[in-house]
Structure formats: C-alpha cells, structure tokens
C-alpha cells in the first residue's frame, strides 16, 4: 500500500468517528429535552358521544315563489315583506275585468252551443220544413225562368226602355244639351243665388218674423203655465172626459163585447176588404195607363231615331260630310239634321219621364195595396180582439193601464207640472227664441257658407251643359248602350248555359236541404254539435281558471319574504311574492356509506352555526334516504335534520345560514375518559402511560367510545384523577421505548 492511499484511508476513518460522535451527542441532547418536556393530562369522568358530522344550509319548511297565472295589470298588493299571513289570505290581485268578461262570453257561448245541440236533437220544425219547401219552389221557378226566358211583358218593356234611354243619352251627348236642360239648370242657379242673397242680407219677410214671434210667445205661455200650473177649465174638462172614456172602456172589457161592438168590428172588416179590392183595381188601371204612355214614348224614340238615320243619309255624303246646300238656302242640310237631332233628344226626354212615371206607378201600386192590406189585417185583428172572452188578461191590463194614464194626466193638470215638464217647456222656448233671433239678426256664417256652396254647385252644373262631350264620356255612353242591349237580348232570348247551370245548382241545394230536414239529424251533425258543447265547456273552464289565477292566495301560513310587484305594474310572468313557511326549519346533509348504517331516525343532533358562533341548538334526525347518490365516485345518502321554529328563533337562526351538524348515534354517561393521544398500541395491546411521583409506568386498558378527541376507558386499572402521558403518536409496531423513532418517543418509555 502506497503512502497516498494510507492517507486517504486515515482521513475517511477520522471523518466517520467525528460524524458518529456528533449524532450520539445529538441523540443524548434530544432525550434530555424530551424528558424535561413531558405532556400530561388528567383522567376525567364525563359523558362521551359518538357522532357523525356534516354541514349544510338551514332551510325553511317551505319556500315558494308565487306568481300570477294570468298576465295583466296589478290591481292590489295586500302584503309587504316581513308580514305574517294565514292560509288562504289574498296576497295580490291583477285587474280581472277582461277575465270576467271572458267568463261571461264563454258562458254565453256554452249556452248557445247547448241550444244548438238541443235544436239538432229535436230535428226540423214544421216551419223549417215549410220554409225549405218554399225555397225549393222558388229555386225551381228561377230555373224555369232561366230555361224558358219566362220574363213578363213588363220585364221586356222595361229592358227595352232602358236600351232606348241609353241610346238617347248617347245621341244627346253627340248633339248637346236641349233648351229644356239649359232652362232647368238656369232656374236652379237663379234659385241658389236668391237663397244666398237672403242668407247674406237677412232679408226675412214680415210674415216670417211675425210667425216666429207668435211661436215664441206661444212657447213662453206654455212655459208659464207649466211653472204656475194654471191649467184652464177646458184643459181639465178634456182630461176628465179622457178619464171617463178610459173607465168606460175598462168596464166594457170587463163586461165583454156587446152585439153592437161585434157588428161594428165586422162592418169594419167588410169595408176594409172592399177598399182593398177597389185599390187593387184602381192601381192596376194606373199602372196600365203608365205602361201605355211609356210604350208610346218608346215608339216615339224609335221613330225619331229612324228619322234621324234617314235625315243623315239625305244630308251627308258617303264620307260623312254635309252635302252642298241648294242655291239661296245656306245651312239647309245642317238645319235639317239639327232639327232631327232635337226631335230625338225631345223624344228621349219624354221617354225618361214616361219611364219614371211608370216606375212611380208601380211603387204607388205596391204602397197603396200594402196599406189597404194592412188596414184589412188591422180590422180582422180588431174583430178577433173583440170576440175574445172578457177574461183575457192582456185586454184587461191594457184597459186598466189606460185608466191609470188618464188619471195621471188629470192629476197633472190639477196638481201642477213636474220639473221634467218645466224643462221641456223651457227647451221649447229656447228653440223658438233661437229661430226668432235668426230671422231678426241674420244668418250665421255656417248658413251663408251652405248657400254659397249651393250656388257653386248649381253654377258648375250649368257650365257643364256648355262643355262639349269628350271621347271618354261618349265611350262610356256607348258602353251603357252595349250593356243595355245585352240585357234586352238576354230577356228576349232566354238564359245562357251558365245561367241554367247556376239555377240547377240552386235547385239541387234546396232539394238536398229539404231532404236533410225530413231525414232528421245525422250522427255527424249530432257529433259536431256535441263537440261544440264540449269545446265551449272547456273554454269556460279555462277562462274560470284564468280568473282564479288572477289572485295570489297564501297556500300556507308563514312570512312574506319578498314582494316583487306594485299596484299599476303590467306583468306577464315572474314571481310576484315569495312566501316562507317558518313553522319549522331543516338541514339537508350527505352522510357517507360507512357512517349511514350507524344512524337511526329520531336521534338528537347538536348544531352550530358559522353566523352565530355562540348558538348551539338541538335538532332531530327525521329522514334517511333509502337509496344512495353517487358524485365523483363518492357514495352518500341524503339525510334531513329538523329544527323546531321556536328553538331556531330563540337562537337567532335564519334561513340560508351554514349549519354544522353532529348526529349523536351513541352516548355513554359518567365514564372514564382519556385523551386519544394518551393511548398507544403496542403489539396489538392498547396501553396508557400513567405518571406517578415522577415515574412512568404503562397500564394495559380496554377502550369504548371515542369522539375523535377523547376515548372511553372501560377497564378498571386506572382511576379518575390519574395523570397520563400525552404521546406524540399512539401506535408503534413493537413494544419498548425509543425504537419507534421521533414520533413515538416517550409513548412506551418506562414500560
């Protein structure tokens, strides 16, 4: 071995000795320090509880956000935040006027649908069958008329007259206005100007003013009579006579009709029938005469048209220009043609008047016959009423009402007028005064404007006569001639294929409608009617539900936590009121699967709160879920802890606070307790190091419950008040002192 190697080995040996000496010295220092700072505790006797701990939020028994089921305007808000309410209290309402109307309409719809169903079930009435048969007969008549062209002579004459009128108007446009047209328009213009002058200058006649003054004086007299009640003896006598007549009629009704009354009523019927027959005869004669006059006028138009055509050929060449006039006869052909045109225009004017007269005669015939028929019907009704038995309640009531009315009129005259009568009389005076003032003070601006407008319109009509016909107006007149010719041809020649098809379709529809009525309601019709009833009922139920939803009522008693609406606010959705049921509180926590089997319903729970550190309340375990939930591969069971509301209130606990729950599943009272760190396990045996007189000795023990801080000692080898050593660790793999390393040092010392 060389010298260098020896030096290296020597250095290594020295270093090893130095390091070993350092660690030996350090260990002795640590042992000395540990011996000087031994931690101890006393064996106590107390209650120990085994618990399962978790945390959660405090929740009320119920927390509901209440909303309106219908949209609308908030009408009432009856609560505020913090207010206590009872079940059924009305918290808020929206304006339900539209909803009320919807319910009313739905009820009407249901009643209508039910009535339709009842009508469908009942089938057609005799009136329905009669009306349907009449419709069918009318459709058949229309078809026959369309098929055969069965128009009356009057229809043909009327169509012919309309054609001639259209032709005459076309000719008149080409010729220009007649002297009669100009004179009539001039007279209308002059009349309008006179009325305008009167309106502007207020030149009412003396007679007009006197008449208005008399009307005003009469109205004032009547007003004074109404105010003073100064009815004349004649007025009272007339009223008394009317009362006597009404009483006499009442007596007659009560006694029944006399023979003379019946005879008079029968005579009235006979006279009415005679009058009707006479009216029909006279009016038909008038219509016939007007028709003859119109036919003559039509012939005159045709003759004038033929003459115009002839004159045109005489006065015009093949190019449509006037021929050369004879010598010494200037404008000869123009005058001849103009004369023929005026003749046609006059004939057309006469034709229009004759057509109007014929139309008026038809209207007069209809009105007169209807009036005579109405008179006959009234007479027959009066005879029927006369022959009614005296016990007819309606006749007796009417006669009694007439007596009461007549008595009231008499009393009014003798006792004075009412305030309503005086108001009516005053209104008549005001109107008469206004009329008198208008005559004496002149017309208003509105009256003058109306008169000016009438003059303007009359002037325009007069000026229009002197404006030559334009191509557009002549084209429109020619189109009217074509249309009138087509109508005339249709009447003369009968209906087209389209007319017949339309008429046949109407016959088929009317026949089908009658057949359906006779066959009675079909199952489909009944089903449709029943479906309508059901739909109407559903609509009514829905509208009623909307009406109920317009009110928010408390579903339970509790405290209003928030009010989110105000009166007048328009809302469509969203919570309006938040209501809390504070009759009890509860905490929902999750318990792991290793601990859930230790728990049982009804066990006490000690609860503390982060927000109220000084408060500890006792609750009850009231629910354990049957099935677990898995979150992030962790299996747990939902459990519920219930707290009495009074207990919570006394402790200042509120909903939403964080709660720390310790569920007590086992409890031992008055047992020996040592800190958990005083217990160590050596080779499977639990021991406690007891220190007495500065000397430690290990005592084997049996343990019971542990609450995570202390452990129950069930053996009798130690006693209350003994001093035990607190170990840095509670478990070693072998008995003995420091072999357990730094953490176990002292746990088995002296054992």
Mean pLDDT of all residues in 110-133: 85
Please report, to the nearest 10 degrees, the dihedral formed by the alpha carbons of residues 607, 608, 614, 615 taken in order. -40
User: Which range is least confidently modeled, 38-42, 571-575, 654-658?
Assistant: 571-575
Q: By percentage, how much of the chain surpasses pLDDT 90?
A: 27
pTM above 0.75, yes or no: no
The angle that helices 206-228 and 419-441 make with each other, rounded to 10 degrees, is 160
User: Which range is least confidently modeled, 79-93, 107-121, 211-225, 618-632?
Assistant: 211-225
- Computed over every residue of the chain, the mean pLDDT equals 82
Tell whether the model's pLDDT for residue 746 goes beyond 60: no
701: helix, coil or strand? coil
Over the stretch 319-377, which tens digit does the pLDDT of each residue have? 778 888 887 888 888 888 888 888 888 888 888 888 888 888 888 888 888 888 888 88
Over the stretch 36-77, which tens digit does the pLDDT of each residue have? 568 999 999 999 988 888 899 999 999 999 999 888 899 999
Mean pLDDT of all residues in 542-547: 90
Tell whether the model's pLDDT for residue 518 goes beyond 80: yes
* Band (580; pLDDT cuts 50, 70, 90): very high
**Which of 299, 286, 288 shows the shortest CA–CA distance to 350?**
299
In the prediction, which pLDDT does 85 show?
Answer: 94
What is the 8-class DSSP label of residue 749? T
In the prediction, which pLDDT does 57 show?
Answer: 93
- Dist CA 172 CA 338 (whole Å): 12
* Band (15; pLDDT cuts 50, 70, 90): low
Q: Residue 72: in which H helix or E strand, if any?
A: strand 72-77
- Dist CA 66 CA 553 (whole Å): 9
Asked whether the beta carbons of 320 and 337 are under 8 A apart, the reply is no
Over the stretch 680-723, which tens digit does the pLDDT of each residue have? 998 889 999 999 888 999 999 999 998 888 999 998 889 999 99
In the prediction, which pLDDT does 740 show?
Answer: 34
Mean pLDDT of all residues in 543-555: 91
Over the stretch 184-228, which tens digit does the pLDDT of each residue have? 777 788 887 877 776 766 666 677 778 878 888 888 887 777 776
In the prediction, which pLDDT does 154 show?
Answer: 67
Categorise residue 296: left if φ over 0, alpha if ψ from -120 to 50, beta otherwise.
alpha
Structure tokens at 261: 């009354």
Q: Give how far the C-alpha of residue 393 lies from the chain's centroid of Cα atoms, to the nearest Å.
A: 46
Asked whether the beta carbons of 46 and 673 are under 8 A apart, the reply is yes
**Which of 72, 114, 78 shows the shortest CA–CA distance to 95?**
72
In the prediction, which pLDDT does 230 show?
Answer: 63
Q: Where would I find the H helices in 465-522? A: 471-493, 497-519
- Residues 6 or more apart whose CB falls under 8 angstroms from that of 19 comprise none
Residue 688 has a CB neighbour count (10 Å cut-off) of: 25
* Band (20; pLDDT cuts 50, 70, 90): low
- Residues 6 or more apart whose CB falls under 8 angstroms from that of 361 comprise 283, 286, 287, 289, 290, 291
Long-range contacts of 178-184 (CB under 8 A, 24+ apart): 178/342, 178/345, 178/346, 178/349, 180/346, 180/349, 181/465, 182/462, 182/465
Report how far apart, in Å, the C-alpha atoms of 622 and of each of 23, 640, 649, 651, 665 are.
61, 6, 20, 21, 13
In the prediction, which pLDDT does 657 show?
Answer: 92
Tell whether the model's pLDDT for residue 742 goes beyond 80: no
**Which of 58, 57, 60 shows the shortest CA–CA distance to 578?**
60
Q: In the structure, how many helices (H) and strands (E) does the chain have? A: 17, 21
Mean pLDDT of all residues in 443-461: 83
Mean pLDDT of all residues in 495-515: 84
């Amino acid at each position: 071995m060389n010298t260098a190697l020896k030096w290296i080995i020597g250095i290594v040996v020295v270093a090893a000795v130095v390091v070993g000496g350092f660690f030996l010295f350090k260990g002795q220092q640590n042992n000395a320090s540990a011996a000087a700072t031994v931690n101890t505790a006393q064996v106590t006797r107390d209650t120990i509880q085994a618990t399962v701990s978790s945390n959660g939020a405090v929740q009320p028994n119920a927390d509901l956000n209440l909303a309106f089921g219908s949209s609308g305007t908030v009408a009432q808000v009856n609560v505020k935040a913090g207010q206590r309410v009872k079940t059924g209290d009305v918290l808020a309402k929206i304006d339900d006027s539209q909803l009320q109307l919807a319910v009313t309409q739905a009820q009407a719809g249901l009643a209508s649908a039910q009535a339709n169903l009842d009508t469908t079930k009942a089938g057609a009435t005799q009136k329905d069958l009669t009306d349907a048969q009449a419709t069918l007969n009318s459709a058949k008549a229309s078809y026959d008329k369309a098929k055969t062209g069965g128009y009356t002579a009057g229809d043909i004459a009327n169509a012919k007259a309309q054609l001639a009128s259209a032709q005459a108007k076309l000719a008149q446009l080409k010729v220009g206005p007649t002297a009669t047209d100009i004179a009539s328009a001039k007279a209308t213009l002059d009349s309008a100007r006179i009325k305008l002058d009167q309106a502007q200058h207020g030149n009412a006649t003396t007679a007009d003013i006197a008449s208005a003054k008399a009307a005003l004086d009469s109205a004032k007299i009547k007003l004074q009579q109404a105010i003073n009640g100064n009815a004349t003896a004649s007025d009272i006598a007339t009223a008394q006579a009317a009362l006597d007549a009404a009483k006499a009629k009442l007596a007659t009704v009560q006694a029944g009709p006399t023979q003379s009354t019946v005879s008079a009523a029968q005579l009235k019927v006979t006279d009415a029938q005679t009058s009707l027959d006479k009216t029909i005869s006279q009016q038909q004669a008038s219509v016939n005469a007007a028709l003859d006059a119109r036919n003559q006028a039509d012939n005159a138009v045709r003759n004038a048209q033929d003459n115009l055509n002839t004159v045109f050929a005489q006065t015009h060449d093949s190019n449509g220009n006037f021929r050369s006039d004879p010598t010494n006869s200037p404008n000869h052909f123009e005058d001849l043609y103009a004369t023929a045109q005026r003749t046609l225009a006059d004939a057309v004017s006469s034709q229009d008047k004759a057509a109007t007269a014929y139309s008026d005669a038809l209207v007069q015939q209809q009105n007169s016959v209807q009036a005579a028929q109405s008179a006959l019907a009234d007479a027959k009704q009066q005879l029927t009423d006369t022959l009614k038995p005296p016990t007819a309640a309606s006749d007796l009531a009417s006669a009694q009402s007439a007596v009461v009315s007549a008595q009231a009129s008499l009393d009014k005259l003798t006792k004075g007028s009412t305030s309503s009568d005086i108001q009516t009389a005053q209104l008549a005076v005001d109107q008469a005064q206004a009329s008198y003032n208008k005559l004496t003070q002149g017309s208003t601006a509105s009256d003058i404007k109306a008169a000016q407008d009438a003059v303007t319109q009359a002037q325009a009509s007069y000026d229009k006569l002197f404006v030559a016909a334009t191509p557009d107006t002549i084209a429109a007149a020619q189109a009217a001639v074509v249309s009138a010719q087509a109508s005339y041809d249709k009447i003369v020649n009968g209906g087209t294929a389209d007319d017949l098809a339309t008429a046949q379709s109407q016959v088929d529809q009317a026949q089908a409608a009658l057949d359906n009525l006779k066959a009675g309601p079909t199952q489909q019709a009944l089903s449709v009617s029943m479906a309508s009833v059901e739909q109407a009922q559903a609509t009514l139920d829905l509208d009623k539900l909307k009406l109920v939803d317009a009110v928010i009522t408390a579903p339970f008693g509790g405290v209003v936590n928030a009010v989110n609406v105000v009166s007048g606010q328009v809302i469509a959705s969203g919570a309006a009121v938040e209501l809390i049921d504070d009759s009890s509180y509860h905490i929902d926590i999750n318990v792991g699967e290793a601990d859930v089997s230790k728990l049982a319903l009804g066990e006490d729970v000690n609860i503390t709160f982060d927000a109220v550190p000084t408060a500890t309340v006792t609750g009850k375990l009231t629910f354990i879920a049957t099935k677990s939930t898995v979150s992030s591969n962790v299996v747990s069971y939902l459990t519920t802890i219930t707290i009495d509301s009074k207990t919570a209130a006394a402790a200042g606990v509120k909903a939403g606070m964080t709660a720390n729950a310790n569920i007590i599943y086992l409890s031992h009272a008055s047992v020996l307790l040592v800190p958990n760190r005083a217990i160590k396990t050596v080779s499977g045996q639990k021991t406690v190091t007891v220190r007495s007189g500065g000397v430690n000795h290990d005592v084997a023990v049996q343990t019971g419950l542990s609450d995570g801080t202390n452990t129950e000692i069930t053996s009798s080898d130690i006693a209350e008040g003994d001093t035990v050593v607190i170990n840095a660790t509670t478990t070693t793999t072998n008995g003995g002192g420091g072999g357990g390393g730094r953490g176990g040092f002292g746990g088995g010392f002296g054992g």
